[in-house]
Amino acid sequence: MHGEIDHILITEEQIKLKCQEIGKQLSEEYDGKFPLAIGVLKGAMPFLSDVIRHTDIHLEMDFMDVSSYGDGTRSTGEVKIVKDLNTKVEGRDLIIVEDIIDSGLTLSYLVDLFKYRKARSIKIVTLLDKPSGRSAAIQADIIGFEVPDEFVVGYGLDYAERYRNLPYIGVLKPEIYSE
């Protein structure tokens, strides 16, 4: 699998340090509160799992499984809810945890949904931001790293469901992308 990577953009060590930093920041910002951390599956799973272990506050955790890329490298434009939350968000302070904001369609859909459901506050935390991909006007409150206009994989991010288990963020060799 590692042989299919063309180059690494963000190393395992850089990700580790960033998770510590973000965990600390969230602990300060939510001190004395009881936020609901929402992991957007599947991609955000490793990031959420690492960040929360660097927080020192009480928080509740839930997951929403949404999908819009399928097996390709471009958003289909249709955000499908595969699994909804089990928790009511009304009156809650939400921390949405994402692996990447690319077109912004997934997050703008979720933010609209959670506003409609009367969340008290919504904070967006993303490991990666790809501003060049944006078609919906959405911005994160906390960004780990900015990435260039390339389809990235690893640390939760997939291409056709593979490579989520890489410990770093990288770009595949051009011949692997079959589009």
Annotated catalytic sites, by residue?
Answer: 102
105 binds ligand HPA (CB under 6 A): no
Look at residue 68 and give the partner it binds from ligand HPA, ligand PRP, Mg ion, none, a contact being a CB closer than 5 to 8 Å depending on partner kind.
ligand PRP
Among 48, 157, 166, 172, binds ligand HPA (CB under 6 A): 157
Give the C-alpha separation, 68 to 66, whole Å.
Answer: 7
Beta bridge partners of residue 154, listed in sequence order? 157
What residues from 2 to 41 belong to the interface with ligand HPA (CB under 6 A)? Answer: none
Nearer to ligand PRP, 118 or 135 (CB): 135
Q: Return all residues near 68 (Cβ < 8 A) that are at least 6 apart.
A: 75, 76, 77, 78, 79, 80, 105, 106
Among 75, 128, 163, 171, binds ligand PRP (CB under 6 A): 75
Least Å distance, CB 56 to ligand PRP, is: 27
Cα 136 to Cα 74, 101, 129, 139: the distances in Å are 14, 10, 13, 9
DSSP H/E element including 19: helix 12-29
Q: How many residues bind ligand PRP (CB under 6 A)?
A: 18
